[in-house]
Amino acid sequence: LVVQFAAGSQPFAEVLPVGLERPGTIVYYPGVAQQRARLVPAEGGLVDITETLPGAGRMDDFLGEYADQLARQPWTRSVCGLFKDVALVPRGNTWVLRDQAGQALPLIARNHWKLLALTGGARCDLAAEWDGTSLQPLGVALGGRFRAI
């Protein structure tokens, strides 16, 4: 997740379009949770994301990382989660994101139809925001393309 700040009506210092990647180095500000960082761009411009997303292959791995984050910074409100090879499936009156081991995390009640339309029910890589109770899908990588949701 990228959070930028600007005073008044000033524009943000950097424009970071969704679905594109920029070569560079991430420099973290001091802190135990490594949440605040600055991107130091390298040579080259923005390019489309065409590879699979890095991330957790199992929900247990993601939840372990989340628990570590909370241990370091108990006031964390939400974190970005990257999930590999997951599927959107109905469970009762809700929808969940399920990994290959059958473990699942619930989705926020909106945007699942758009995600289902984009994936056609196929497994995908997903970027989502986790608030400790449910996932808010942010983008999906499928078939060599990344799409914002």
Domain segments of the chain as ranges: 59-148
Whether the pLDDT of residue 97 is over 90: the answer is yes
Beta carbons of 112 and 128 less than 8 angstroms apart:
no
Residue 2's pLDDT is what?
A: 64
| Token pair for 141 | 């990588």
Beta carbons of 73 and 33 less than 8 angstroms apart:
yes
Residue 146's pLDDT is what?
A: 85
Residue 1's pLDDT is what?
A: 54
| Token pair for 52 | 């699979």
Whether the pLDDT of residue 25 is over 60: the answer is yes
pLDDT tens per residue across span 34-78: 777 777 877 777 777 767 777 888 999 999 999 998 998 898 889
Residue 109's pLDDT is what?
A: 76
Residue 112's pLDDT is what?
A: 82
